Homo-oligomer: A and B are copies of this chain.
Amino acid sequence: MRILIVGGVAAGMSAASRAQRQNPDGEVVVYEAGEYISYAACGLPYVLGGEVRGEGFDRLVVRTPAQMRGRGISVRLGHRAEGIDARAGTLTVRGPDGVTTTEPYDRLLLATGADPVVPPFAQTGLEGVHVLKTIPGAQELDASLRGARRVCIIGGGYIGLEMAEMLRARDLSVVVVERLPDLATILDAPLRVPIRGALHRHGVDVRTGVTVTGLQGQGRVSGVETDAGLIRADTVLVAVGVRPNTELAEAAGARLGETRAVAVNRRQETSVAGIYAAGDNTQATHRVTGQPVWVPLGLTANRMGRVAGVNMAGGDASFPGIVGTGIFRTFELGVALTGVTQAQAEGAGLDAVSVDLSSTDSAGYHVSSQPVHIRLTGEKGTGRLLGAQIVAENHLAAKRIDVIAALLGVGATVEDLFETDLAYAPPFSSTWDFPLVAADKLLRQL
């Protein structure tokens, strides 16, 4: 049994480990185009902001090729997969020396991930223009920031907002430009208000409803041209979104889904026999709506990789789908969501209703208590829980989204949430923790 894996980060390495464990006699080879495997890409902002212990970027590497070899897995760095002959069962790979080889496989996993979108205006070749994805890319950004004074972040999504905090921690002047009329538009509007407030308090210059048209500079970038005038900046971070890397899958004849990511079944099998897909290039099923979604996140990638690894090696595992849980921090705020927002529920044709509640994370009288805002969404008629959004002024309280994520995973109702026996003591919660109060309020609307 020869298992080849294209891509050695989250999904690819999870799959390699599981496949090897499932079938220790099989051969597992991982081809990674970059210089690192198995690194925590989500940690890059925190290295840049000085919140990573010890040796910095290297600390993000979970496992090295040598460690994987010790576990019976071959890792080939700097190897780029260039083509697949699905009928013959071969993968064409170009090595770092430029030599191309054709490798036979029994099972092939495409864990090619997603790449940051770089709009045409940013493809200038100017220095000081960056995206955040890989360790070497982040090291270049780090070097760029050392001489910088004023950084323009293009994009007000979660990476832009995480980076705004990290750059302010480096005492840089920060401008965030967002084409849409608001930041963090994945959230329903009421939850976005405190985010704007936090950025304002921390001196971030926020410009929403502004479209970037080009970059200025000679050699190094000096400004960002927009439909609302020029923004001077000596460094630019482009964070306008990511796109699944599906070229290889398409070339092999694998079907893409409605989301334009690779379509798979619950076993992570693509439409081409013997070829699997997992990670940020792959579509998932939303357990709340039943619809296909593409939400490239670390836990999902790891989980898909495990499932693919087990199945490729002859086992039987099933990916349960996602409920769309996400979380990020920007300054003191924790921002989290799970399930669907009111807007997403309506888009999916659900008869949804949402309630908003502002409360405190711990007992209001306790010195530790900080404001927290929750929006809870349920389905009329069925009483089914559909989703929640939390913005917490002590960021850690946003992690309480997990209670709702857990209940969404088992198809629970708003009443189930209300009846949940949550932990209470004054430094942790109000007697009725805020998700319970929101559930009580929502029950009266269903």
- Residues on A lying within 8 angstroms of B by beta carbon are 10, 40, 42-43, 46, 51-54, 59-60, 162, 287, 297-300, 302, 320, 322-329, 334, 336, 338, 363, 365-368, 395-403, 405-410, 412, 416-417, 419-429, 431-433
Contacts and interface: CB of A to CB of B under 8 A. Distances in A.
Contacts of A427: 46, 51, 329, 395
Given A51-B368, A365-B52, A403-B402, A298 B424 contact: yes
A42 B365 CA distance: 11
The 9 A-B pairs with the shortest beta carbon distances in the complex, nearest first, are: A327-B423, A320-B419, A59-B365, A323-B421, A325-B421, A299-B424, A402-B403, A406-B406, A406-B420
B366 A299 contact: no
Contacts of A52: 365-367
Contacts of A397: 396
B365 A60 contact: yes
Among A10, A400, A428: residue with most chain B CB under 10 A: A428
Given A405-B422, A406-B416, 18 more contacts: A40-B363, A43-B363, A46-B363, A46-B366, A53-B365, A53-B367, A54-B365, A60-B365, A287-B421, A298-B431, A299-B431, A396-B428, A398-B423, A402-B403, A402-B422, A405-B420, A407-B410, A408-B421
Contact of A46 (B40, B419, B426): B426
Contacts of A395: 427-428
A390 B438 CA distance: 26
Among A10, A327, A408: residue with most chain B CB under 10 A: A327
28 contacts: A10-B431, A42-B363, A43-B366, A46-B367, A51-B368, A51-B427, A52-B365, A52-B367, A53-B367, A54-B365, A60-B365, A299-B421, A299-B424, A302-B431, A322-B421, A325-B423, A328-B425, A395-B428, A399-B429, A402-B403, A402-B420, A402-B423, A403-B403, A403-B405, A405-B423, A406-B412, A407-B410, A408-B421
B406 A329 contact: no
Given A52-B366, A60-B365, A398 B428 contact: yes
A155 B340 CA distance: 47
Nearest to A165: B427
Contacts of A334: 428
